[in-house]
């Protein structure tokens, strides 16, 4: 099992302010210096990719808020101060977890000491026992009556006849003051949030999709999912890998997975393709109840052309593809020369041979899309020690026994289920052992 990738950190060290916290009257009256160290755990990749402060935490603003907690409403315990600081940090949506240390170097202790520190860790599953700091609401004075402005507009001049002949016909009357028509509203300037993952490609893009299932009729579900992908408008399925059975990686104890890789071309944007795969997952009863938990169907977008992107809903290439043999091994069989782009990438066959979870692959089925659906393979039989026979004379060979060692029944792979077929039925699945990279070149496959 691979550990979770550690998050990035923003550290604010030595934020100091005069506070009035403590259980003694002189602490509340005279105040003293409090110091806070704050470590924010978050993912800074989207901010780095876009160079946009909106996708990270403004540490200048955060420092001011931490100082406001230190100098703010007095409390008896610095434990309470630490909880308030943690809550203030987690009020930022980008923060996943926070470490807080509150120092009270001038604490009223009667023996020599260097410092008093309360240190806590809080995250989204263990929330702080306090409310976050909020700016005080300024009291507004009684508002003065708003003056009413009279608007006078001049209508088009209206010609009129003059009773005598002293002036020309069509002399202009004086203008009449009337209310002006309302001015048109100012247009609302909005921002259409878009990134490279919303861009529709000018030409079809090669994509790699990883399919997995370990609940229900997993093989049939994966078959149906391949058909569903082929029916998506804008998606053309190019090839489908062998079917791999593999042990689960991470998450709770759960059944083995069946996995396959689909190579396709698409004219959809990356995000539209993601939505299409999620719709197929939901059609097959996918429920996201537990992180890395069992599932009826999982479809991951591994590669979308040469796109490198990090967003809240999609990261390309898939961030853990270079470590997952259950993706790399089937992919290498259907595309031996494939290369995984991005950080940690490289030749897929070579990555498959060195993947940390390689030992968890049980077998690969070559014709799983066309052969009958078979029951789950039985576990590998454990070797049993036969009793050693007592020495004695060697019996003469039976002339009715074939002497050719290959004349018996054809061997069946240990992990493959035995199956019989009626005349005219398609043959059973063709099983193959996982290749040993130490004996053969990467990408080779015994048949």
pLDDT of residue 193: 45
Examine the pLDDT at 83 and tell me if it is beyond 80.
yes
104 is catalytic: yes
DSSP E strand boundaries for 341-423: 346-347, 361-365
Mean pLDDT of 377-381: 47
In the structure, what pLDDT confidence band is assigned to residue 428 with cuts at 50, 70 and 90? very low
Residue 240 to residue 210: CA distance in whole angstroms: 10
pTM for this model (two decimals): 0.47
Of the candidates 65, 124, 122, the residue with the CA atom closest to the CA atom of residue 99: 122
Q: Go through 14-32 and write b for each residue having 16 or more CB atoms within 10 A of its CB, e for each that does not.
A: ebebebbbbeeeebeeebb
pLDDT of residue 301: 97
- Residue 340 burial by Cβ neighbours in a 10 Å radius (0-12, 13-18, 19+): buried
Examine the pLDDT at 437 and tell me if it is beyond 60.
no
pLDDT of residue 130: 85
User: Above pLDDT 90, what percent of the chain?
Assistant: 45
Catalytic residue among 55, 104, 245, 295: 104
The DSSP bridge partners found for residue 371 are none
The SS3 call for residue 280 is helix
431-432 and 361-365 beta bridge pairing: antiparallel
pLDDT of residue 140: 45
Give the chain's mean pLDDT: 76
pLDDT of residue 213: 92
Dump pLDDT digits (tens) for 157-196. 444 444 455 444 444 434 444 444 555 445 444 434 457 8
Dump pLDDT digits (tens) for 29-53. 999 999 999 999 998 988 888 888 9
Examine the pLDDT at 368 and tell me if it is beyond 60.
yes
Alpha helices in 287-439 (DSSP H): 325-334, 348-354
Of the candidates 388, 368, 93, the residue with the CA atom closest to the CA atom of residue 242: 368
Q: Go through 53-71 and write b for each residue having 16 or more CB atoms within 10 A of its CB, e for each that does not.
A: eebbbeeeebeebbbbbbb
pLDDT of residue 366: 84
Dump pLDDT digits (tens) for 401-418. 444 433 333 333 333 333
In the structure, what pLDDT confidence band is assigned to residue 304 with cuts at 50, 70 and 90? very high
């Amino acid at each position: 099992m691979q550990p979770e990738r550690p998050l990035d950190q923003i550290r604010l060290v030595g934020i100091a302010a005069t506070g009035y916290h403590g259980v003694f009257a002189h602490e509340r009256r005279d105040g003293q210096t409090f110091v806070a160290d704050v470590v924010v755990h978050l993912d800074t990749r989207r901010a780095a990719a876009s160079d946009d402060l909106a996708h990270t935490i403004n540490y200048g603003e955060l420092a001011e808020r931490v100082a406001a907690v230190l100098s703010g409403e007095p409390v008896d315990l610095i434990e309470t101060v630490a909880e308030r600081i943690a809550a203030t940090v987690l009020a930022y949506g980008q923060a996943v977890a926070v470490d807080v240390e509150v120092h009270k170097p001038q604490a009223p202790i009667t023996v020599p000491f260097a410092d008093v520190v309360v240190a806590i860790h809080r995250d989204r599953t263990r929330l702080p026992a306090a409310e976050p700091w909020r700016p005080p609401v300024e009291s507004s004075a009684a508002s003065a009556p708003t003056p009413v402005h009279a608007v006078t507009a001049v209508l088009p001049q209206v010609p009129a006849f003059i009773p005598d002949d002293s002036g020309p016909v069509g002399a202009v009357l004086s203008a009449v003051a009337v209310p002006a028509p309302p001015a048109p509203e100012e247009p609302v300037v909005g921002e259409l949030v878009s990134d490279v993952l919303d861009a529709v490609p000018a030409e079809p893009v090669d994509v790699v999709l990883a399919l997995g299932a370990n609940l229900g009729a997993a093989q049939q579900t994966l078959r149906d999912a391949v058909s569903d992908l082929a029916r998506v408008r804008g998606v053309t399925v190019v090839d489908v890998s062998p079917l791999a059975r593999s042990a689960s990686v991470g998450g709770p104890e759960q059944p083995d997975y069946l996995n396959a890789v689909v190579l396709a071309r698409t004219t959809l944007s990356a995000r539209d393709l993601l939505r299409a795969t999620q719709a197929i997952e939901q059609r097959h009863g996918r429920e996201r109840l537990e992180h890395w938990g069992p599932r009826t169907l999982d479809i991951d977008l591994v590669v979308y052309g040469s796109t490198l992107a990090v967003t809240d809903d999609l990261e390309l290439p898939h961030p853990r593809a270079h470590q997952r043999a259950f993706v790399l091994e089937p992919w290498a069989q259907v595309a031996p020369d494939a290369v995984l782009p991005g950080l940690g990438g490289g030749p897929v066959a070579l990555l498959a041979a060195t993947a940390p979870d390689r030992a968890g692959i049980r077998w690969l089925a070559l014709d799983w899309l066309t052969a009958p659906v078979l029951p789950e393979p039985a576990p590998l039989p454990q070797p049993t020690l036969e009793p050693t026979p007592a020495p004695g004379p060697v019996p003469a060979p039976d002339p009715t026994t074939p002497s050719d060692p290959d004349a018996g029944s054809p061997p069946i792979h240990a992990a493959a289920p035995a199956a019989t077929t009626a005349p005219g039925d398609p043959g059973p699945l063709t099983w193959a052992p996982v290749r040993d990279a130490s004996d053969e070149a990467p990408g080779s496959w015994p048949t």
